[in-house]
């Protein structure tokens, strides 16, 4: 059994056994080969993406917002509006006249006689026309209710457009953030791979412990995994944006760098602004539905006014007369002697009116709170993003550069260098997150302005 020579703090070990030399040489070669392989693989993660690189399609924020105004959700709202306009046409009409024909007084015992069926046979034949005269202004009230609902459907389209644009803004900057993250993580991965390769050479030269080289290899593999995760996140973000914008071609979406400027971060007003909630599309839609409910209550109450059905018919009965004229009038007796007089419809319409009033009040309150929340989000996100961009991130970069310089001159340990790199990586991700949050908050605030 070979005995490993002992080393003191002052003098490097000068003699080792032959077996120990062979073992260490093989181990160093293995580490160097594995680190070189991992370094070569870093720019090509994942392997599937290496064989078939995705085709990208660039899109700007303006293009994404325009496309969001015509996506499937907005199209569904337009279909609902078309149906509501059809309801207006259906409501704005008078009752349809009814044409009737009859054959009566057919004598089955003595027969109907000979001759022509229409002119000579003993059959009482008649043709008539009936028409209902609506009272209580039902047609106008019914049309008004349908028009209000159509107006609410129109406002729903505007509200859904804003909602889809806000969702698209979030998806757009999520994609842009993943693109920036890939760039930053790739740079970190290259530095980690270079450090691991350098450590392997130093181990082979006997200038660094194998344990420290293993730590650098772990950091390089960790950075490689982070890069692969960022690439997968980018693919998911691109798919989400494509679904919202309708861009479903073979290429993967590539967001253009439409970040808010530093001036936009600094120019966020600090005073409280309370825009009028009445100008919001969701509030306008709730107002239209309230007016429709009022008209529907009037329609239900108007059912108490009895409609009159007027009719006339022309009779032909051979042997008696060939020109007989009949007039008819029908009046429903609803409410007569305490009978049913549309109480259920009126109660239902009143409940719908109360519901519409409560819904409008709730919508107004939510709109007011939403304005305040969006304003607070914009202020907080701007302050956080500005702090990272002006103070935190530059200092973190400077500390990392100083650590690199100190390590290259032997004035800093490997552990301290790795800690400095980890800190920079964390700050970079946090700064990117703060920038993304500010971009989302700023654009959402602009989209919600009346």
Interval 337-364 mean pLDDT: 93
pLDDT at 92 over 60: yes
| Section 319-347 average pLDDT | 87
Q: What digits encode the pLDDT tens for the residues 289-316?
A: 999 999 999 999 999 999 999 999 998 8
Report yes or no: 262 and 88 within 8 Å, Cβ to Cβ.
no
pLDDT at 107: 74
| More confidently predicted of 9 and 300 | 300
Q: Is the pLDDT of residue 273 over 80?
A: no
pLDDT of residue 411: 84
Helix (H) or strand (E) holding 315: strand 308-317
Strand duo 321-330 + 252-255: pairing:
unpaired
The whole-angstrom separation of Cα 212 and Cα 411 is 16
- Rounded mean pLDDT, 79-85: 96
pLDDT band with cut points at 50, 70 and 90 for residue 251: low
What are the chain's domains? 39-89+163-302+361-447 (1.20.1600.10)
Neighbour-count burial for 292-323, b at 16+ CB within 10 Å, e otherwise: bbbbbbbbbbbbeeebeeebebebbbbeeeee
- Choose among 359, 373, 300, 295: nearest CA to 334: 300
Is this prediction's pTM over 0.85? no
pLDDT of residue 54: 54
Q: Which sign, positive or negative, has the C-alpha torsion 90, 95, 96, 98?
A: positive
Position 83 pLDDT exceeds 50: yes
- Tens of pLDDT, residues 137-166: 999 999 999 999 999 999 999 999 999 999
Among the ranges 23-37, 42-56, 380-394, which has the highest mean pLDDT value? 380-394
């Amino acid at each position: 059994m070979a005995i490993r020579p002992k080393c003191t703090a002052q003098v490097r070990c000068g003699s080792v056994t032959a077996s120990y030399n062979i073992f260490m040489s093989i181990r160093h070669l293995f580490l160097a080969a594995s680190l070189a392989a991992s370094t070569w693989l870093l720019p090509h993660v994942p392997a599937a993406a290496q064989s078939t690189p995705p085709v990208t399609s660039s899109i700007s924020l303006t293009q994404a917002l325009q496309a969001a105004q015509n996506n499937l959700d907005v199209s569904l709202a337009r279909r609902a509006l078309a149906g509501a306009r059809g309801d207006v046409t259906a409501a704005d009409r008078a009752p349809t006249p009814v044409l009737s024909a009859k054959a009566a007084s057919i004598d089955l015992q003595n027969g109907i006689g000979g001759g022509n069926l229409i002119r000579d046979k003993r059959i009482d034949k008649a043709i008539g026309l009936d028409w209902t005269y609506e009272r209580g202004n039902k047609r106008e009230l019914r049309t008004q209710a349908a028009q209000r609902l159509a107006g609410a459907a129109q406002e729903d389209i505007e509200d859904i457009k804003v909602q889809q644009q806000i969702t698209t803004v979030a998806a757009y900057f999520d994609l842009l953030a993943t693109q920036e993250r890939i760039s930053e993580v790739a740079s970190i991965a290259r530095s980690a791979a270079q450090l691991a390769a350098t450590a392997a050479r130093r181990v082979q030269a006997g200038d660094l412990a194998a344990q420290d080289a293993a730590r650098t290899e772990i950091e390089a593999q960790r950075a490689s995994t982070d890069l692969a995760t960022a690439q997968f996140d980018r693919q998911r973000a691109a798919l989400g944006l494509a679904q919202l914008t309708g861009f479903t071609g073979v290429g993967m979406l590539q967001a253009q760098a439409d970040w808010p400027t530093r001036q936009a971060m600094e120019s966020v007003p600090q005073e409280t602004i309370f825009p009028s909630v009445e100008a919001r599309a969701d509030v306008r839609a709730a107002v239209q539905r309230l007016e429709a409910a009022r008209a529907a209550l009037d329609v239900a109450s108007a059912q108490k006014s009895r409609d009159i059905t007027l009719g006339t018919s022309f009779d032909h009965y051979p042997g008696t007369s060939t020109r007989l004229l009949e007039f008819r009038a029908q009046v429903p007796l609803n409410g007569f002697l305490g009978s049913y007089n549309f109480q259920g419809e009126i109660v239902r319409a009143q409940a719908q009116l109360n519901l519409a009033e409560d819904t409008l009040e709730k919508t107004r309150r939510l709109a007011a709170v939403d304005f305040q929340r969006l304003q607070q989000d914009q202020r907080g996100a701007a302050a956080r993003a500005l702090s990272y961009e002006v103070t935190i991130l530059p200092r973190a970069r400077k500390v990392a550069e100083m650590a690199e310089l100190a390590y290259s001159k032997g004035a800093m340990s490997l552990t301290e260098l790795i800690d400095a790199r980890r800190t920079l990586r964390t700050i970079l991700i946090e700064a990117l997150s703060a920038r993304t949050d500010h971009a989302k908050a700023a654009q959402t605030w602009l989209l919600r302005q009346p």
